[in-house]
Amino acid sequence: MTSTTHGTAEGVLDSPLESGNAQGAQQREALLQVKGLKVAYGGIQAVKGIDFEVRKGELVSLIGANGAGKTTTLKALTGMQPATGGSISYAGKEIQGRGSFELVRRGLAMVPEGRGIFTRMTIVENLLMGAYIRADKQGILDDIDRVFHTFPRLKERRDQLAGTMSGGEQQMLAMGRALMCQPKLLLLDEPSMGLSPIMVDKIFEVVADISSQGVTVLLVEQNAKRALQLAQRGYVMDSGSITMTGSAEELLNDPRVRAAYLGE
């Protein structure tokens, strides 16, 4: 495990605690590379020059307390918040400054904190909005069926207005909508926030299933224990800096992480 003091992390994993998955991930090409990323709101430096990467096929968790800069980082990756420094490379190409719509076309999708569904549209209409970049009508219909297979509750309510559903159902819809664009890299921002324990279990089950299908996942999550249990690797973010990185197993067993984020 690497502990950092200047807000950067190289992501080099050479500890004997690494799992087989983490070791295998080291052999893969980086799909997302972030170097020296800085983001500011007015005069406040929210992200202070961080380095991290996500390799193809990985599920990587970014954990930290409220206000650590996790959501701001995701917004910078997706073009929702301008970066003030550093570089963001996706699939080998610099994407800093690119619009969110262009990144979706390239296979980078995000499920935002708060879900961001279209409340006055039905479930099916929301899913179709997720496929707006596509023209393969039959493929779109097939993918809607796949979403309904993953989330049977959505199928039961397919013609219901999204705004009338429970928080857990809305989270299912937000994830299903993101999958409709057939992402190569899926960014998830606090998918379990505000959900019942049963619904949290379902959401994490789906995240694991998405990852097992080969979709690369960057998971931002306050439920650090569950997030690290799913992941191959993790990064710890504090006050705009990445302070620790390592395999998920290393972080789960680190006393500092356990005390600060796992409540132990």
pLDDT tens per residue across span 150-172: 999 999 999 999 999 999 999 99
Model confidence pLDDT, tens digit, residues 207-221: 999 999 999 999 999
Residue 1: predicted pLDDT: 72
Tally of CB atoms within 10 A around 251: 27
* Domain residue spans of the chain: 2-107+183-261
User: How much is the pLDDT for 154?
Assistant: 95
Q: pLDDT by residue (tens digit) across 91-150?
A: 999 998 888 888 999 999 999 887 789 999 999 999 999 999 999 999 999 999 999 999
Q: Cα separations (Å) of 87 from 14, 90, 180, 259? A: 26, 10, 28, 33
pLDDT at residue number 8? 42
Q: Which helix (H) or strand (E) holds 234?
A: strand 233-238
Which option is the CATH number for 2-107+183-261: 3.40.50.1220, 3.50.50.60, 3.90.79.10, 3.40.50.300? 3.40.50.300
pLDDT at 10 over 50: no
CA distances from 12 to 15, 25, 42, 141, 201 (A): 9, 11, 33, 42, 31
Q: Is the pTM of this model over 0.75?
A: yes
Residue 55 tokens read as 């390799």
